Amino acid sequence: MTDQASDDTANPEESTSRRDFLQIATYTVGAVGAGLAVWPIVDSINPPADVLALSSTEVDLSPVEVGQSITVIWRGRPVFVRHRSEKEIEESRAVPLDAMPDPQKDEDRTQKAEWLIMVGICTHLGCIPNGQRPTDPKGDFGGWFCPCHGSHYDLSGRIRKGPAPTNLEIPAYEFSDDTTVKIG
Amino acid sequence: MKLSKSIILPFLDWVDYRLPVFSYARHNLIDYPTPKNLNYWWNFGSLAGIVLMIMIITGFFLAINYTPHTDYAFSSVEHLMRDVNYGWLLRFMHANGGSMFFILVYIHMFRGLYFGSFKAPRELLWIIGVVIYLAMMGTAFMGYVLPWGQMSYWGATVITSLFSAVPLIGDTIVTWLWGGFVIDNNTLTRFFVGHYLMPMVIFMLVIVHMWALHQHKSNNPLGVDMRTPADSIPFHPYYTIKDMVGMGVFFIVYFGFVFFAPDFFGEPDNYIEANPLVTPPHIVPEWYFLPFYAILRSIDNKLIGVIAMFAGVCILFALPWMDRCRVRSAKFRPIYRQFFWLFFADCILLGYIGAQTAVEPFVTIGRIATAYYFAHFLIICPLICKFERPLVPPESISAGVLKAQKGAE
């Protein structure tokens, strides 16, 4: 093969010969065929239909009092739902954006300011940050603290200190009515 | 180009000097001298190798989605068929691949019988091949149990119960196989592990088979040794291309079944979940076991029937010493050639009998066919050897090929 390639550059007039065309055409068809043959096998390790069927979760928010947090499961992953107080919202909005590794306004992280809904998985290496229970360590910024490698998140779930590269992920969700939210 | 000359080639040389994989591959896959007169019957060994790889790959991806537990096995297969992306394709490729594997190997074996490929100095090559065949049978049997349908369950019951015929320790062996007093979860888990392990054993046996093959190289339709360079051509590109032509034809047949008749080789009863309290009215093993199943049923004594069935396979080990005729190819053996086809017909007949219910006239026909099967090896082959006057094979492959060309003109 390498010999063939070097011949091409040495004799440019021969690089368009019939034999080269046939060879390239054969390899191309072979490569396309191999790709088509491999695709079903690769696709088979994607999430199957029964997993995709579990892709949304409905949550009743009515029992969650101001200042409380609950954890719900969506696609097998924990989702933090926090009923924030006015004070928490104000504090979160007052923070200057240039103090954050991943600057994002608090307004952009919620649909309704009192409900903070986010995937409770540290964006560093996938641990679940502490801070959902009143007794948990909440880190230097009063939000969540990941015990694995020490990432501190604030009351808006934004990374403030530690190795995590981005803020806690906000899932797609919509409110069906004032007290019901559909995640996913 | 420049990159290949300055970096890649020196790197390959560096590796090859320390671990000669590239010169080994060149020696065995490219320059490897192959008889220049091989016909398409010589395609089936490499085709079987390709199917083995397909089985290992699809098997891995099936195992990802399978649960070896009596409560979940059947539904996990249905899950695979309905929910997993292309799971149906993987499963049908694997299930039909099993049947294809046996078809290819049977043709490969009959080719060996016809052209005398089992004869000196290839006896061990043949014997390793029979060991591979036995390993394939065990693997296929265990694999058939995994979907946990009615045929899986009752096939497993019948086949494992064969071992109860062993005097004194028979029942103990069966209990060991089962891990209990009936086929149950313990049986299923160990069969699953066995079905995953055995292909690795087969793969290693295939490497040994190749090793033995490359020692004395391929036999050929004339059955004479390669003597001069004029008798051989390099494996690549001549036989890589020829193998690929055969592969194309084979894939048309194989995927014809996969896409258009995926359950052709299957039993409808295996889509009913295993029920330990109900035996289906008509139990048949998979088609590739039918001739040996016919041998088993044609003998009324349990122990002797089981021995005969295993002997039916194991007698192949002795074949190189039963047929000692020095002329290999049936092309030059007018009498053997006729008896070869008679034996072939007898194997087909046994397969047909194995698929019938055990009533007359099938029982009697089965007994005659069984007797003939063993007579072929034990009586007919040695006798032909003694009394046949073979034609004189050409002194070399080249001479034979030239003579055939002249004859055609």
Q: How many Å from the N-terminal Cα to the C-terminal Cα in chain B?
A: 48
For residue B89, the chain A residues in CB contact (below 8 A) are 40
What H or E segment, with its residue span, contains residue B342? helix B334-354
Residues in chain A: 184
- For residues B44 and B107, the answer to whether their CB atoms sit within 8 Å is yes
Find all residues with CB under 8 Å of B164, minimum gap 6, and list them: B170, B171, B173, B174
**Of residues B125, B314, B104, B109, the one with CA closest to residue B208:** B125
In Å, how far from its chain's centre is CA B283? 23
Pairing of strands A151-154, A159-161: antiparallel
Pairing of strands A57-60, A180-183: antiparallel
Give the count of beta carbons closer than 10 Å to the beta carbon of residue B58. Answer: 21
C-alpha–C-alpha distance, residues B360 and B272, integer Å: 30
For residue A38, the chain B residues in CB contact (below 8 A) are none
> Could you report the per-residue pLDDT of B151-169, keeping only the tens digit for each?
999 999 999 998 998 888 9
Low-confidence ranges of chain B (pLDDT < 70): 1-3, 408-409
Of A2, A48, A50, nearest to B9 by CB-CB distance is: A2
Q: B370 burial class (0-12, 13-18, 19+ CB within 10 angstroms)?
A: buried
Tell me which residues of B are annotated as active site: 214, 218, 242-243, 286
pLDDT attached to residue A3: 47
The structure's pTM equals 0.86
DSSP code at position A170? P
What does the pLDDT profile of chain A (184 residues) look like in tens digits?
444 444 445 555 555 788 889 999 999 999 999 999 999 999 999 989 988 887 788 899 999 998 899 999 998 899 999 999 999 898 888 888 887 889 998 889 999 988 999 999 999 999 999 999 888 888 888 899 999 999 999 999 999 999 999 999 999 999 988 889 999 8
Q: Which CATH architecture has domain B39-217+235-283?
A: Up-down Bundle (1.20)
C-alpha–C-alpha distance, residues B9 and B15, integer Å: 10
pLDDT attached to residue B357: 84
Q: Could you say which of 1.20.120, 1.10.287, 1.10.1660, 1.20.140 is the CATH number of the domain covering B290-389?
A: 1.10.287
CA closest to B6 among chain A residues: A2
- For residues A181 and A57, the answer to whether their CB atoms sit within 8 Å is no
C-alpha–C-alpha distance, residues A139 and A83, integer Å: 19
Pairing of strands A173-177, A159-161: unpaired
DSSP string, B271-301: GSB--TT---SS----GGGHHHHHHHHT-SS
For residue B64, the chain A residues in CB contact (below 8 A) are 44-45
- For residues B1 and A5, the answer to whether their CB atoms sit within 8 Å is yes
CA–CA min distance A26, chain B (Å): 12
C-alpha–C-alpha distance, residues A142 and B228, integer Å: 87
CA–CA min distance A27, chain B (Å): 14
Cis before A78? omega within 30: no
Tell me which residues of A are annotated as active site: 149
C-alpha–C-alpha distance, residues B368 and B295, integer Å: 10
Residues in chain B: 409
pLDDT attached to residue B256: 97
pLDDT attached to residue A55: 78
- Which amino acid does the sequence have at A16? T
Whether residue B82 and residue A49 make contact (CB cut-off 8 A), yes or no, is yes
Radius of gyration from C-alpha coordinates of chain B: 24
Domain limits, chain B: 39-217+235-283, 290-389
- Which amino acid does the sequence have at A87? K
pLDDT attached to residue B1: 52
Q: What are phi and psi of A30, to 5 degrees?
A: -60, -40
